[in-house]
């Protein structure tokens, strides 16, 4: 009897052991199945990663064409590349860019660890908008936003940009510009800057960071410690800034101080400029003194540091080899390394960068720190981004509502730079019409021509081009010099330095003219008093040009405030 009882108890215990361990195994199996990037500890994830996968997370590459080629697909699906940069050349329509970004996300999902990508682009508003071929609404330039003096205009523009990026499938924006414009020769920054006052720059740039963060898009303010004091283009050469360090801090770094203090900056881009009084030897992108010394230690920045494109001449003029550029930028403290164009350079990094750690040239512990920063940011942003993309129809409605409001708000940003008549522009042009004045419009773009035909249907139009070749410009000037006697008044659309000879011709021929400045207003400043009326929209796209013509011919009040404290 006791034997039977013992056998029964043993059988019962065994059955319970099998049952509970079976249940435990099932739950463990389900838990394993449910393991995702988002519920895995970052340090555990890093411990699972190969060296090549770690490197993939800190590289960001651009490519040519409208589709990924097989090599790019392989890099993404194998985790050898974790981030992609979209340029204007990669966009042809809204459907196309959505298909492209979907494929990038899909290829990353196919990788072993399924880490989502950062897909970055540049959408600042105005001239710098790499989605503008994709049918997305173009928002006004930073200058026009600031000229309104209205933060609501900045907020509307920010919401449009954020939701356009969301719909396109892009979750990182190399914007807004934190550059404080203090150099009249700064052609490459110009109206991309919100102003010459660092507090105004931050005030108008802040809504862009807030609205993008709201939908899971990482903002990357640029170009630390500042590009607005430079009278050269770092795309084209390694330029040197001689400004005193104290002035750089008190003026150009101030927007970053505000943003870091407010806790809203999770990433920033460092420039390819050499600041002689901050680091005598290296541009910011290769400078431990600037990245670690100023940005990390002095400003206490804990986000990711993104290099400006290391294929720009500002970087390549000093260090020609991409592997050496990577070494210098890594040792300086950068976290995300942008190589935007050349496949051969990208292939070299993919094949050879891991060897730098095996040989001890670079430290894998330092690599882990950079990977941790990137993964932390991906955890914070990409799930929010995915969730927000589930309601794209609502997003389109937000864009439409804000665009309608923005078109009205920016009218108050149209700015008079010079006005000779004592009467309003509306009255002045009405008088010209009543007197039967023979007028000619000298147009730099098809958009400008469209509005000129609408508002001045009886005037002749000569198309001179936005940035015509020297030979074409010379030919057009000869034609106008012969034809000029037919006209009593000219309206000149000013966009670039190529229109300066047109101003000089009109002045020489003693023909009254108005300047409608759609780009580079700083470049026009020496010539505005040669005109009867000089007015600027700060950029050459809609809705800025629409607002310019409307204010001249219907509004006439010109409430815009020039945001740059620069004199020529």
Q: What is the pLDDT along the chain (568 residues), one digit of tens a residue?
A: 444 544 444 444 444 544 445 434 433 444 445 678 898 999 999 999 999 999 999 999 999 999 999 999 999 999 999 999 999 999 999 999 999 999 999 999 999 999 999 999 999 999 999 999 887 889 999 999 999 999 999 999 999 999 999 999 999 999 999 999 999 988 899 999 999 999 999 999 999 999 999 999 999 999 999 999 998 777 776 789 999 999 999 999 999 999 999 999 999 999 999 999 999 999 999 999 999 999 999 999 999 999 999 998 877 778 889 999 999 999 999 999 999 999 999 999 999 999 999 999 999 999 999 999 999 999 999 999 999 998 888 899 999 999 999 999 999 999 999 999 999 999 999 999 999 999 999 999 999 999 999 999 999 999 988 998 989 889 888 888 888 889 999 999 999 999 999 999 999 999 999 999 999 999 999 999 999 999 999 999 999 999 999 999 999 889 999 999 976 5
Q: Where are the alpha helices (DSSP H) in 35-81?
A: 42-48, 51-58, 70-77
CATH classification of 414-555 is 3.40.50.1700, yes or no?
Answer: yes
Residue boundaries of the structural domains of the chain: 121-367+379-408, 414-555
Q: Is 227 helix (H, G, I), strand (E, B) or coil?
A: coil
Q: Which CATH number fits domain 121-367+379-408: 3.40.309.10, 3.40.50.300, 3.40.640.10, 3.20.20.300?
A: 3.20.20.300
Picking from 169, 117, 551, the residue whose alpha carbon sits closest to that of residue 377 is 117
Picking from 231, 200, 146, the residue whose alpha carbon sits closest to that of residue 536 is 146
Tell me how far apart the alpha carbons of residues 539 and 152 are, in angstroms, rounded to a whole number.
19
Tell me how far apart the alpha carbons of residues 68 and 73 are, in angstroms, rounded to a whole number.
6
Burial of 338 (0-12, 13-18, 19+ CB in 10 A): buried
Beta-bridged to residue 415, according to DSSP, are 536
Measure the CA dihedral 564/307/293/372, to 10°. 130
Cβ atoms within 10 A of the Cβ of 103, count?
Answer: 16
Backbone angles phi, psi at 469, to 5 degrees: -65, 160
Tell me how far apart the alpha carbons of residues 423 and 435 are, in angstroms, rounded to a whole number.
16
Kind plus residue range of the DSSP H or E element containing 417? strand 415-419
Tell me how far apart the alpha carbons of residues 192 and 522 are, in angstroms, rounded to a whole number.
12
What b-and-e string marks burial along 498-525, b requiring 16 or more CB atoms within 10 Å of the CB? bbebbbebbeeeebbbbbbbbbbbbbbb
Kind plus residue range of the DSSP H or E element containing 108? helix 94-109
Tell me how far apart the alpha carbons of residues 254 and 197 are, in angstroms, rounded to a whole number.
10
The DSSP string of 161-214 is HHHHHHHHT--EE---B-PBP--TT-TTTGGGS-BSSHHHHHHHHHHHHHHHHH
pTM: 0.91
Q: Is 416 helix (H, G, I), strand (E, B) or coil?
A: strand
Tell me how far apart the alpha carbons of residues 206 and 530 are, in angstroms, rounded to a whole number.
38
Tokens of residue 535, six digits: 């007015």
Tell me how far apart the alpha carbons of residues 241 and 40 are, in angstroms, rounded to a whole number.
45
Strand runs (DSSP E) across 258-355, as ranges? 267-270, 274-275, 304-307, 337-339
Tell me how far apart the alpha carbons of residues 377 and 426 are, in angstroms, rounded to a whole number.
52
């Amino acid at each position: 009897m006791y034997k039977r009882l013992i056998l029964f108890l043993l059988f019962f215990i065994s059955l319970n052991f099998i049952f509970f361990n079976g249940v435990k195994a099932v739950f463990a199996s389900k838990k394993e199945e449910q393991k995702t990037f988002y519920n895995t500890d970052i340090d555990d994830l890093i411990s699972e990663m190969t060296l090549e996968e770690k490197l993939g997370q800190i590289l960001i590459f651009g490519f040519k064409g409208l589709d990924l080629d097989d090599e790019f697909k392989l890099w993404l699906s194998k985790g050898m590349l974790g981030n992609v940069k979209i340029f204007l050349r990669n966009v042809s329509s809204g459907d196309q860019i959505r298909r492209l970004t979907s494929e990038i996300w899909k290829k990353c999902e196919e990788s072993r660890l399924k880490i989502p990508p950062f897909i970055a682009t540049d959408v600042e508003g105005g001239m710098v908008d790499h989605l503008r071929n994709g049918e997305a609404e173009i928002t006004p330039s930073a200058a026009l936003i600031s000229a309104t003096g209205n933060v609501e205009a900045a907020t509307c523009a920010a919401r449009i940009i954020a939701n356009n990026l969301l719909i396109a499938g892009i979750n990182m924006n190399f914007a807004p510009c934190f550059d404080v414009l203090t150099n009249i020769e700064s052609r490459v920054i110009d109206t991309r800057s919100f102003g010459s006052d660092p507090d105004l720059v931050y005030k108008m740039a802040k809504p862009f960071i807030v609205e993008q963060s709201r939908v899971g898009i990482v903002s990357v303010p640029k170009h630390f410690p500042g590009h607005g004091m430079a009278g050269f283009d770092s795309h084209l050469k390694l330029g040197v800034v001689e400004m005193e360090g104290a002035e750089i801090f008190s003026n150009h770094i101030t927007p970053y101080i505000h943003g870091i203090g407010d806790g809203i900056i999770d990433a920033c881009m460092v420039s390819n400029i050499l600041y002689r009084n901050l680091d005598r030897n290296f541009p910011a992108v290769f400078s431990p003194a600037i990245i670690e010394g100023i940005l990390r230690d002095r400003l206490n920045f804990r986000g990711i540091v993104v290099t400006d494109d290391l294929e720009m001449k500002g970087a390549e003029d000093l260090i020609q080899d991409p592997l050496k550029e990577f070494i210098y930028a890594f040792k300086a403290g950068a976290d995300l390394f942008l190589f935007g164009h050349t496949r051969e350079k990208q292939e070299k990094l993919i094949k050879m960068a891991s060897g730098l750690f095996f040989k001890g040239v670079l430290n894998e512990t330092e690599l882990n720190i950079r990977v941790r920063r990137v993964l932390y940011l991906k955890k914070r942003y990409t799930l929010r981004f995915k969730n927000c993309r589930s309601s794209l129809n609502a997003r389109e409605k937000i864009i439409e509502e804000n665009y309608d409001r923005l078109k009205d708000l920016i009218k108050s940003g149209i700015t008079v730079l010079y006005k000779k008549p004592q009467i309003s522009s509306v009255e002045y042009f009405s008088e010209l019409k009543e007197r039967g004045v023979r007028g000619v419009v000298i147009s730099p773009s098809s958009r400008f021509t469209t509005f000129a035909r609408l508002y001045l249907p009886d005037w002749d139009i000569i198309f001179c081009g936005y940035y015509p070749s020297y030979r074409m410009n010379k030919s057009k000037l000869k034609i106008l010099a012969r034809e000029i006697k037919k006209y009593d008044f000219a309206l000149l659309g000013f966009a670039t330095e190529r229109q300066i000879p047109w101003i000089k011709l009109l002045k020489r021929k003693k023909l009254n003219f108005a300047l409608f400045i759609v780009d580079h207003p700083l470049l026009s400043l020496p010539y505005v008093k040669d005109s009867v009326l000089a007015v600027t929209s700060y950029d050459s796209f809609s809705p800025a040009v629409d607002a310019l013509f409307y204010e001249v011919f219907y509004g006439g009040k010109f409430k815009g405030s020039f945001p740059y404290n620069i004199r020529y």
